[in-house]
Structure formats: structure tokens, C-alpha cells
Amino acid sequence: MRKRKDVASIGHILQNYKYSFKFMWKYSKIYLILSFFSSILGGLFPSLQLILTSRLFNILEKGCPFDEALTVIIIMTVCACTYVLLMRLYSGILVPRFSQSIHLKVQSILFGKVRRLELAKYDDPEFYNGFVLAMQNADSYATAAMTALNNLFSCVLSVVTTLGIVIYIDLVAMLIMFASAIMAMIIDANMKKIEFKKQLDITPIGRRKEYIDRVHKRADFAKELRLSDLGEILKQDYEDNTADFLSLIKRYGKKTAILGILDGFNINVIYLITIAWTIYRMVVIGSVSLGGFTIIVTSCTNFKGSLVRLVKLLTGISKQSMQIDKVRSFLEYEPEERRGSLPAPRFESIEYKNVSFGYNPDKAILHGINLKICKGDKIAIVGYNGAGKSTFIKLLMRLYEPTEGSIIYNGRDYREYEMDSYRSNIGAVFQDFKIFATTVGENVLGDECTEKDIKTVESALHYVAFDEKLASLPNGIDTILTREFDEDGTELSGGESQKIAIARVFARPYDLIVMDEPSSALDPIAEYSLNKHIAEYANDKTVIFISHRLSTTRHADRIYMFEDGRIIETGTHEELISLDGKYAEMFKIQAEKYIVQ
Amino acid sequence: MPKNNLHRSKLDLTISQIINNFCYATKMMMKIYPSKFFCQSFFWIMANLLGFYSQTYMLRYVVNGVQEGENIRIILLYVFFMIIISLVIGSARAVYDHILSPIIDQRCERRLNLEIYRRSIEIDLENYENPESFDIYDRAVTNGADAISYVIDCIGGAISTLLGISMEAYLLFEIDPILFLFSVVPWLFSPLQMMIKKEQYEYDIEVRKINRRKDYTRRTFFQAEFAKEMRLTNLPKVMQHRFTNSIKDYLNLVKTKGLCIALLTEVTSIGRAILSARLAQIYSVFQTLVTGTMMYGDCLVAMRTVNSFSQSGSNIITIFTDIYSIALNIRDFRYFMENEPKVSSNPDGLEPVAGNIEFKNVSFRYDGANFDALKNVNMKIRQGEHVAIVGCNGAGKTTLIKLLMRLYEPTVGEICVDENNIRSYKLKDYRRTYGVVFQDFKQMACTVAENVLGRPYCDSDEKTVWDALKKAGISDVISKLPKGIQTVMTKEFDNDGLILSGGQSQKLAIASIYARNVDTVILDEPSSELDPFAENQMYENMLAASVGKTVIFISHRLSACVSADRVFYMEGGTITETGTHEELMKLCGKYAEMFRIQSENYTDN
């Protein structure tokens, strides 16, 4: 991570821009060149118009023949039309096309990176926040330098040419304009400082308001709000919040009002003073022509606008540089060495040797786990909530790696195998699975679903008793799930979603299947039928079943009971019952109610 | 107002609908933002007038005066006078913009928001649970509120524009009537411009759709909830594909519609420029140079004014399109505010009392569904009974409960408590007689005490809250916290906010049942998150808390039914079996089968 001090330095900003620039040059030279030309056009055109207009008025003043005036007007028309046409073409057609293709390029690179990112990084808030910002800012990353430079160049060109023209006419007028522009910048800078402070104070207030809005707007609390008086609490909160906000406005408002008055003075009064001065020069001294007068009048406000824009750009540059930083640091991040290039053979055995793990180094979730699972075993892992069962699975899938000890797959430390190859042997259903906004087929397969995959998907769905629902879907396997992508998408119920998640395990010939609380959302009949199907399907496969409903785990070959991250009891159901330990107690509690007296 | 559902946003409104809706929006605006409207319009108009005046009339006077050789002192005095006026108006405006306006804004918004909040709770639950209505309701509140405040800009802008146009027209006419003609010509392009606006609107909608897809695919890559699947499957490839396709779609859109819009815009703007501004320019120059009927000042001002006047034409069109979009966006909001909820609040109704609950021939169908969720349900629960309602997913159990609590109204039949139809009771008070623990129970970001009480806290509540926490078995967790029951929950606003585990959360929910004075306790699938030990504890606590009260359990886990006074088995929206556990087992029906399946593995064969 870069040190804070460096980040704001000019050298660092330049470096970031060079980086972005190089990227653009590599992937879209044309865009770069075209945008450069457009900025030149944008910078020069206003001044050109100015010169032509003043020429016209000089012609008027001198009483030249009408032809000359007509010529000037025609030239102005042609210039204006060409300019507008070109700019429209550029911004309306070329820019979207080019920027999208760059955007695509950047995203592809980022996506590739993300894929290889370790899951542990998602739990590191500093990294994760930076990572999220990087993904969100990816768009501007590449084009940032180019846009900034172009705008800068265009602005500078415009300012310089205007200045040059005005100096030529009257020095003092130009100085007045210039002074006014400087004042505008100072006012603006001060405004920004105050705004920034105000923003810091407002943010928590804004968040509160947003929360109150959210509670009323979303379905999460709709029932609660009707069944209790929680709405009153929210109302009170809102009133308090509003009062805070009002006092904030008053406090900052006084300061910004003064600046606002100065700003108004700057805009209107200076304009009038400039006119008065120019009139004086024109009438009394005679050094300014009518054409000159029109130039000054027209450029007065424009000039200031350009200069203010210039300042905005300069301040925007450091902000953009920070964004580029985020993207860069993510791109430069290399996941810790993931050695392992061996292709993983089919599953024979897996062994945990003294495995410990914790998200934080000082807070271990698993302690000294020792177990071995061989091909064909049907294993159950039970325990109360928080015992570490799900973490056990995450380690198995190599989503995390043990902090101590090792996991041995077919006799080798599993880190020696190539990641994807290793994972392709294990099919897992997690408690917190997610349904993606894509077709049923793709959700089940976890991959693109082609003609030859249809049968596989259908039979997997058959195992989880999804046939009836499948038949009722508008497009069968090609139905898009969730409404994220498409307003006409299909929303599945909790139980139906769970079936899809489970079907994933049946869609590929995994040797080892792991299921973590797969039937929590299913009713007893569905659960019973699922368990039957699993038993059928898993005849010769290895299955690890996690549940706290001991009825489902009873027939396992071996049961491991977890508590506080340790294995406290092991054995078959009968063995553990005669042991009369914690497992027996847990079973008794559950069974009690079912046993008819 | 039609009583059917909030409709999907159609683009076509009749003229009378537009006027009607816009008037409604204006009425709302006057109700909520009157001071803002007057102040803002005043300042706007003053500022615009001043600006306009100094750019045209003043300039004209000055330049003409110079040409005619008027006394320069008078001219300078005049300019000086303008300076003073500018200063005064400018200062007033600054004070308004920075102090008065935000305060007025905030006060007005407060009024609006309180209305919206109140109404959100009043409208039918249906609007939240039906995904179709929800989208629309969402839009109603967001777009509607914007639409109302936008009326100010719209009307203020309209007045400003119309004033400006009249002044410009007058000026042009005064200088030379023919100029006026030139300026009007571009207005002939108006139909073309309207067409462009319509195309642009549709284009924007398409772009938004595409962006939504793009955004989603991108999110799957970096949001933690997708992280596992994104690593364990090939879904990243699928998502990337969709991302690329979204971009392709966008580019196609640009090539077709985008190109079309760009060309049309070009044609109009060039046409306008040439036909009006340039021709007027040539005319003015001719009059100044050749015939000498125009003065320099006139010429200078004329050229500028013709240009801006022709653009005013498009400003007028903007006024119309603004009115149209306001009328469009206000529809859903209007429905939100005006529509009578199906569940009437009955503020003059009876005081609810505890008593027997009876469902008489109740049927119910969700709006837009093809089948009844409840069919001819007949059920009687005696006061103080503990009953269980069981059945497969989708059998109608939760729907039954929602009807009992008057979150929905039955389509057919009636529900009675203590011999009275529940509609005859005061709605609010009636609902408060129920203590519910729902499946998807969530804590709000207020204090523990407030969450437990379900209403604002006062000091006399302290004992009640602690008692409730103790009975629910969670007081030890809370007493360890430095702020005790005043601890704020969730990490929304406070990084040290309290987050409870699944089991603890449910204990807190149970505490709230103790703390509120309820007649009936309802538990809807409460133990799905809990492990057997906690589940057992919870049931025991529950029974202890409900002495003398009616208790209704809904659960998958039939173990709860064994000790219930009565069990109702539901299937396909009806109650198919009723009786005690023993009676139903003897019946050997569906319940017995379900029970057998669940218990099979627990009993030793």
C-alpha cells in the first residue's frame, strides 16, 4: 500500500497519469488522437467566432461595402456548422464506441484478476473497500488521463487566445477581466473548503435519513411497522435529524452567503465596470473600435467561465489520480503464491492433519482438526451453531487455507495441486448459496448451457424433485432467474432456490460431494425425498453431510461432532449413543418430541 | 381513482390526463412548498430580468448613445445606476440561495416526508410483497417526490421563459418588425424537436436497462455474496459473456438510434441557425450599412436577441415536455397517496378483546394470482389454546396468519374474534393484540429497548424491558454491554452497534412478546435457524411466556405438535385434517405420514 504522503505529491500524480496514458496508447491510439483534435477544435473555435464577430463590427463602423460583411457572415456560418457537425459526430458516435471498447478491455483485465483473488481478501476491510472502489472506478481509469489532458488543453487554448485578443484591444480591460477571474477562483476555492467541511458533517445526517427512507420503503420491515409502533420511533428520529440538519445549514450558510455576495458582485458589477471603462476608452480616448467593444462585452463572461473551468480541472486531477491509484494498486496486487500445478487425480482420500484456522490470527475458529475420509465413506458432521462446521468445508474447498497443519489429498498436500483441477473433484452446496441472474441451466451447470448439456441439467433437476416447477416455467431451462437482469425474470421461493443449489452437485460427476444444511428451507416431505435421492445417487460416491438435524445424519458411516472448533466425539450413531456424551444429549433433545409415549 | 393495481409506466397519456395530473402535482406543491415556490420564482424572475435587461436594452442604449454622440456622463451615470441595482439584487439572491432556500427546502421536505412515511405504513402490505407492485411503489415514492418539487422549477421556468420571450419579441419588434419574422421561423421546427425528444426518452430507457445488466454482472465479480460460486464454478465466464453482450447491445443502440437522434438534432440546429440567426444577421447588417435605418446598438443587440429568441422556442417545448414528464411521474405517487387501502383503518371501531378466534368460510387470492391461496377455510381456536398449523411449503399457513392479523382482507368469508368480525375493531389496536415472531425477523437500528418495546422508550419502561429480557434468557448478554438496553442495534450508524447471532436474535424477538401486552402469540417457523438445543429452549420459553394466552405455532418440525392442544394440517390452501396429535396419528392421513417420515430416523427400529 502506498504511503499517504506520496499519494498527493505531484510526482505521484504525474506517474498515475502516465500509467493511464500508456494504457490508452496501447489499446486505442485512434481514440487518443481524435480526442486530441477535438480538444484543439473546442479550444480555438470560440476565439475564432470572436474574431469574426469583431471584424463584422469593424466593417459596420467603417462603413465598408456590404459584400465584405456578407462574406464574413458566410464564413462564420460555414465555420459554425462544420464545428457543430464535427463535435456532434465525435461526441455522439465516436466517443461511445471507443469508450465502450476501452471499458470492456479494462473490465476484462479486472475480472481476470478478481477470479484469482483469495476469498480471505474479502474479509480484510481495508483491502476490500479499496477493491470495490477500484471495480467501480474502472471505467474512468483508462480514459481519465486522456480526458483530463484534453479538457485542460482545450481550456488553456481558449483562455490564452482570448487573452491575446483582448490585450490587443485594451490592456486595462484585460487586466480587469483577469483580476475578476482570479477573484472568482479564490471565491470558488474558499467555497469548496467550506462545502467539504459541511459535507463531512452532513454525511452522518444523510445516512440516517437514507436509513429511515429505506425502512419505510422496503419489505423487510413492512409487517413490523404495521404490527407495532416502531413507526413512531422512526418519526422521532426523523424530526431530530431534521433539526440537526437545519442548524447545520444555518451555521455554514452564513459563511457561504458572504462568498455568494462577493461572487455576485464579481459577475455583475465587474461586467458593468468593464463596459463603462471600455465606453470611456471608445468615446473619450478613441483607442477602441466598435468591434473591439463587442469583443470585450462578449468575452467578459466567457473568459471567466473558462478560467473557472480550468481551476475545476486542476482540482479534479488530484481526485482522479486517487481513483487511478485504487485501480492500479489492485491491478498490481499479486495473490500470494499459489503454487500448485499438478493436475488433481480423482478422489481417493482426504486427510486433515492437525489443522487450525482463524480469520484473525488471534482468534482461531478451528483447533487441531484430525480426520481422514476415504473413498466411498458417508460422513456426517454435526454440532451446534458456531461450532466451525461451515469453516471446515470452506477449507476443504480451498477457499481458505489452514493457518496451521495441512490438508492431504490423495497423499499429497493439497496446495500442490492446481486450484481449479482440485476443486473440480468436489461438488459443494453451501448454506448461503446464491442464485445468479442467468438461466436455470446455467445456474445448475455453473457454466454455459449448450444443447448437449440439457439432458444433464434435466436429470439433475429430477433428483431434486424440481420437474413440476420446471414444466411450469415460461422458457424451461432457458428461463432467466431473479428480476435483477430482466423485469420479467422468475423469482423462485426459498425452497425452490435451494433445490437449484443442490442440483448443482448432481450436474457433474463429482467423486466427493459436500452438503451444508441443504434442506433447511424444505418441508419434511421434500426433505425426505431429497435424502432418498441423495442416498440413491451417492451409492458409490463419497458424501460429507453437515446438518444439525440429527435424523438426516443418523445413517452415516461415521459421525464427527464439532464443538467450539474441535472434534469432540467420533463414531457411528450407535457408538455415540452408547457413549452417552454430547451427541447423545443432542439426539435425545430432538428425538424426545417424536417418540410416542 | 381506479382501484386496480399500480400500473406499469405507459408512455401515453391523454391530454386531459396530463392536465389533470399536472394540476394535482401543482396542488401538492402548493401544499408542501408554498414559500419555496414564491421566493424562488421571485428571485429567478428578478435575476433573469436583470440579466436580460443588461444584455439587451442597456447595451442597445449605450451603443446607440455612443454612435449618436450622447453625453458620455449620462451614459456612465446610467451604467453606474445599473451597478447599484445589480449589487442589491445579487446580494439578496445570495442570501436567499445560501441560507433561506436550504432552510425552506428542508422544512418543506420534512412535511412531504412525514406524509410519505405515514402513508407507507397505512397502505396495504400487498404493495410490499407483490414484486410487481413493489417496483411501482418504489418508483412512486422516488419519482413522485421529485416530480412535485420539480413543478416549482417547471412553473418558475415557464414564467421566466414566457416573460423573456415577450420582452425579446417586443424588443425585436421595436427595432424592426421584420426581424421578428426571422426569429419565429425556427419555431416551425418544433414538431421535429418533439419527435427528437421522444426518441431521446426511449433511448434513455434502453440505456438504463443495459446499464442495469452491466452493473449486475460487474457486481457478481466483486460482491462478497457471490464470491464462493464465482470461484467454484465457471459462472465467471458466463457473467463475462453477459457483460460483453451488454456492451455490444449498447454499441448497437448507439449505431442505430443514437445515430438517428444525432442526425436529427443536427438538421434542426443547423436549419434553425441558418434560417433565423444568419438571415437576421445579414438583414441587420444590410439595414445598418446600406440603408442606414439601423443603429449599431440595434444591430448588435438584434443579432444576439434573434439567436436567443429562436432558442426560446425550444425552451417552450421543454416546458411542455416537463409538464408531460411531471404528469407521468406523478401518477404512481398519486395512487400511493389517494388510494383507499383494502384494509380499512376503522378509527371509530370497537376496542379489541381477547376471545375465541373463528374463520368462517374464508377464501383468499393474492392480487394477480391464478389460484386461491386459501380455499374455504373453517377453523375455530379457543382463547388460551395452543395450536399448531403444519403443512408443506406453499400450503397457505403464513397466508392464514396474515389474514388473521388483518394484513390482508379475505376475498370471501369473514374472520371473527370474540364473536365480532375483526373488521369492526380499531385496526391499530387490534393488530397490537398479537405478538408475532416471523421467519424473516429483523432488528431496526434503534436501541435494544425500543426494539423490544416496539414503541418510543420512556424511563418508566426500564423494568418492563429488563424483565422481558430475563424471561427470554438474553438479559445476561445485554447486561454485559456498556450501554445496556440503550445500546443501538445493527452497525448502520455505529461501528460498535450490536449484532446478535441467529439464536440470540430470536430470543430478543421473544423478549418483545413478553414486553408487549398481547393476547395472542404467533410463531412462524421460528426455529429454522436454531440448533436443537436452542430450539428446545425457545419452545419452553415460549410456552412459559404464554400462560393464559392463545399460541399459534407454524412449523415444519412436527415435534412441536406433540404437545399442542390441537393441530391443523393444511394442504393446497385448505385445512384437511384437525385434531390432537394422537387423533391425527390414529387417522393415518397425511399428517401421520409426514410425522412418520420425520420421526423415522429418530426412533430405533
Statement to judge: residues A214 and A307 lie in one domain: no
pLDDT (0 to 100) of residue B49? 83
Residues B531 and B386 occupy one common structural domain: yes
Residue B408 has a pLDDT of 93
B360 at the A interface (CB within 8 A)? no
Residues near B150 by beta carbon (within 8 Å), at least 6 away in sequence:
B322, B326
Residues with Cβ < 8 Å from B88, sequence gap 6 or more?
A: none
Q: Are residues A586 and B533 in contact, defined by beta-carbon separation less than 8 angstroms?
A: yes
Contact A586 B533 (CB under 8 A): yes
- The whole-angstrom separation of Cα B323 and Cα B329 is 10
User: How many whole angstroms separate alpha carbon B460 and alpha carbon B522?
Assistant: 27
Whether A278 is in a domain gets the answer yes
Query: Under an 8 A CB cutoff, do A442 and B238 touch?
Result: yes
Task: Give dist(CA B530, CA A136) in Å, integer.
Answer: 38
State whether A249 and B102 contact (CB < 8 Å): yes
Rounded to 10°, the helix B101-122/B34-55 angle is 140
Confidence of residue B1 (pLDDT cuts 50, 70, 90): very low
- For residue B68, the model assigns a pLDDT of 81
DSSP strand E in B27-94: where?
A: none
Residue A480 lies in a domain: no
Interface test with B, best of A68, A94, A203, A229 (most B CBs within 10 A): A229
What's A547's DSSP letter? -
B539/B261 Cα distance (integer angstroms):
66
User: Does some domain include residue B136?
Assistant: no
Q: Which residue has the higher pLDDT, B170 or A487?
A: B170
**In a shared domain, residues B556 and B425:** yes
Residue A476, in any domain of the structure = no
Residues B384 and B242 in one domain: no
**Shared-domain flag, residues A240 and A142:** no
Report residue B523: phi and psi, to 5°.
Answer: -120, 120
Q: Looking at the structure, do residues A293 and A267 belong to the same domain, yes or no? A: no
Run of H or E including B579: strand B574-579
Task: Name every chain A residue with its beta carbon within 8 A of the beta carbon of B216.
Answer: 437, 484-485
In A16-100, which ranges are E strands? none
Residue B74 domain flag: no
SS3 B446: coil
**Any B CB within 8 A of A103 CB:** yes
CA pair distance A563, A378, nearest whole angstrom:
20
Task: Note whether B129 contacts A294, CB cutoff 8 Å.
Answer: no
Print pLDDT tens along chain A (597 aa). 444 445 567 888 888 888 888 888 888 888 888 888 899 998 888 888 888 888 888 888 887 888 888 898 899 889 988 888 888 888 888 888 888 888 888 888 888 888 888 887 887 777 887 788 777 777 777 777 788 888 888 888 888 888 888 888 888 888 888 888 888 888 888 888 898 899 889 888 988 898 998 888 888 888 889 999 999 999 999 999 999 999 999 999 999 999 988 888 887 778 788 888 888 888 888 888 877 887 887 787 677 777 778 877 877 787 778 778 878 888 788 777 666 788 889 999 999 999 999 877 777 889 989 999 999 999 999 987 777 888 898 899 988 889 899 999 999 999 889 888 899 899 999 888 889 989 999 999 998 989 999 999 999 998 888 888 899 888 889 998 987 777 777 888 878 888 999 999 999 989 999 998 887 777 777 888 888 888 888 788 899 998 877 777 888 899 999 988 899 999 999 999 999 999 998 888 777 766 654
User: Same structural domain for residues B522 and B392?
Assistant: yes
Report, in this order, helix, strand and coil percent for chain A, each rounded to 5.
70, 10, 20
Residue A455, burial from CB neighbour count under 10 angstroms (0-12, 13-18, 19+): exposed
Q: Is the pLDDT of residue B167 over 70?
A: yes
Q: Is the pLDDT reported for residue B605 higher than 50?
A: no
Question: What are the cell numbers at A2?
Answer: 502506498
Give the model's pLDDT for residue A7: 53
Tell me, yes or no, whether A331 lies in a domain: yes
Nearest residue to B495 via CA among A204, A250, A520: A204
Judging contacts by C-beta atoms under 8 Å, the chain B residues touching residue A253 are 98-99, 102-103
Q: Are residues A4 and A137 in the same domain?
A: yes
Residue B110 lies in a domain: no
Q: Are B571 and B559 in contact (CB under 8 A)?
A: no
Q: Residues with Cβ < 8 Å from A506, sequence gap 6 or more?
A: A427, A459, A460, A463, A464, A537
The 3-state secondary structure of B205-254, one letter per residue: HHHHHHHHHHHHHHHHHHCHHHHHHHHHCCHHHHHHHHHHHHHHHHHHHH
Longest dimension (CA), chain B: 120
| pLDDT in the model for residue B322 | 86
Confirm or reject contact between B392 and chain A (CB < 8 A). yes
SS3 at position A46: helix
CATH of the domain at B573: 3.40.50.300
Closest-CA residue of chain B to A504:
B233
Parallel/antiparallel/unpaired status of strands A542-546 and A512-516: parallel
Task: Tell whether A179 and A253 lie within a shared domain.
Answer: yes
Could you tell me if B402 and B513 lie in one domain? Answer: yes
Alpha helices in A399-493 (DSSP H): 419-423, 440-445, 454-463, 467-472
Entry pTM:
0.78
With CB atoms and an 8 Å threshold, state whether A430 touches B86.
no
Minimal-distance CA residue of chain B relative to A102: B247
Distance from CA of B72 to the nearest CA of A (A): 8
Nearest beta carbon to residue B456 from set A232, A279, A524: A232
Q: DSSP letter for A228, please.
A: S
- CB A292, CB A59: distance < 8 Å: no
Q: Half-sphere exposure (CA, 13 Å, Cβ side) for B245? A: 12
Has residue A529 been placed in a domain? Answer: yes
Joined together, the cell numbers standing for residue A330 give 489492485
A1 and A58 within one domain: yes
Q: Which three cell numbers stand for residue A570?
A: 467420533
Domain for residue A9, yes or no?
yes
Domain boundary among B275, B293, B311: B293
| B279 lies in the same domain as B379 | no
Q: Taking a C-beta distance cutoff of 8 angstroms, is the pair B553, B389 a contact?
A: yes
Look at residue B539 and tell me if it is in a domain. yes
Chain B hits for A550, Cβ within 8 Å: 532, 601-602
Map residue B395 onto helix, strand or coil.
Answer: coil
- AA identity, residue B548: G
Residue B365: strand, helix, or coil: coil
- Domain match, A4 and A129 both: yes
List the single residue in A with minimal CA-CA distance to B99. Answer: A253
Query: Which residues 495-554 of chain A have a CB within 8 Å of chain B?
Result: 495, 504, 520-526, 528, 548-552, 554
Contact A58, A45 (CB under 8 A): no
B216-245 in b/e form (b: 16+ CB < 10 A) is bbbbbbbeeebbbbbbbbebbebbbebbee
- Which of B101, B127, B221 to mutate: most A Cβ within 10 Å? B221
Report the distance separating Cα B315 and Cα B187, nearest Å. 11
Closest CA to B494 of B503, B505, B486: B486
The answer to whether the CB of A506 falls within 8 A of the CB of A459 is: yes
ipTM: 0.83
Domain that holds residue B199: 177-293
pLDDT digits (tens, 9 = 90+) for B119-149: 999 988 888 887 677 777 777 777 888 888 8
Q: Which residues form the domain of A9?
A: 1-165+288-336
Residue B120: closest CA among B132, B138, B147: B138
**Could you give the angle at which helices B190-222 and A95-115 cross, rounded to 10 degrees?**
10
- Using the 3D structure, point to which of B270, B293, B316 is the last residue of a domain: B293
N- to C-terminal Cα separation, chain B: 65
Please judge whether A204 and B493 are an interchain contact, meaning their C-beta atoms are less than 8 angstroms apart: yes
Same structural domain, B285 and B379: no
pLDDT tens digits along B492-538: 777 778 888 777 887 888 888 889 888 899 988 765 666 666 677 77
> Is A470 part of any domain?
no
pLDDT of residue A2: 46
Classify residue B67 by burial, with Cβ atoms within 10 Å: 0-12, 13-18, 19+. Answer: middle
Residue B85 near chain A (CB below 8 Å): no
- At A561, which amino acid appears? M
**Range in B24-28, B83-87, B210-214, B527-531 the model is least confident about:** B527-531
CATH at A557 = 3.40.50.300
**How far is residue A187's CA from residue A270's CA, in Å, rounded to a whole number?**
15
* Total domains in the fold of chain B: 2
B419 and B515 fall within a common domain = yes
Mutate to test the interface with A, among B235, B278, B286, B433 (most CBs of A within 10 A): B235
> Under an 8 A CB cutoff, do A279 and B446 touch?
no
Same domain, A223 and A79: no
Same domain, A186 and A242: yes
- Which chain A positions have a beta carbon within 8 Å of B76's beta carbon? 276, 279-280
Contacts 24+ apart (CB under 8 A), B470-474: B471/B511, B471/B514, B471/B541, B471/B544, B471/B545, B472/B507, B472/B508, B472/B510, B472/B511, B472/B514, B472/B541, B472/B545, B473/B507, B473/B537, B473/B541, B474/B504, B474/B507, B474/B508, B474/B511
Summarised one tens digit per residue, pLDDT across range B359-379 is 999 999 988 788 889 999 999
Identify whether B495 is part of a domain. Answer: no
Mutate: best of A70, A224, A576, partner B, most B CBs <10 A:
A224
B276, B386: one domain: no
Q: Are residues A384 and A529 in the same domain?
A: yes
Residue A492 falls within a domain, yes or no? no
Q: What is the pLDDT of residue A243?
A: 95
- Of the residues B277, B293, B309, the one at which a domain ends: B293
Within an 8 Å CB–CB cutoff, is residue B544 touching chain A? Answer: no
Cell digits of residue A539: 451409492
Residue B310 has pLDDT above 70, yes or no: yes
Taking residues B457-461, what's their average pLDDT? 91
Give yes or no for residue B313 having a pLDDT over 60: yes
Place of cell 385496526: B427
The answer to whether residues B423 and B511 belong to one domain is yes
* Minimal Cβ distance to B289: which of A60, A261, A520: A60
Residues B272 and B409 in one domain: no
Residues A213 and A152 in one domain: no
The set of residues, in sequence order, having a beta carbon less than 8 Å from that of B596 and lying 6+ positions away, is: none
Q: Which residues pair with A66 in a beta bridge?
A: none
Q: Quote the CA–CA distance of A473 and A463 in Å, as a whole number.
A: 18
Tell me: do A126 and A10 sit in the same domain.
yes
pLDDT at A96: 84
Q: What angle do helix axes B235-253 and A95-115 make, rounded to 10 degrees?
A: 170
Work out how many domains chain A is built from and give that number: 3
Are B289 and B361 part of one and the same domain? Answer: no
Instruction: Please tell me the predicted confidence (pLDDT) of residue A431.
Output: 81
Q: What pLDDT shows up at residue B2?
A: 32
Task: Specify the DSSP class assigned to residue B558.
Answer: G
Q: Is B369 on the interface with A (CB under 8 A)?
A: no
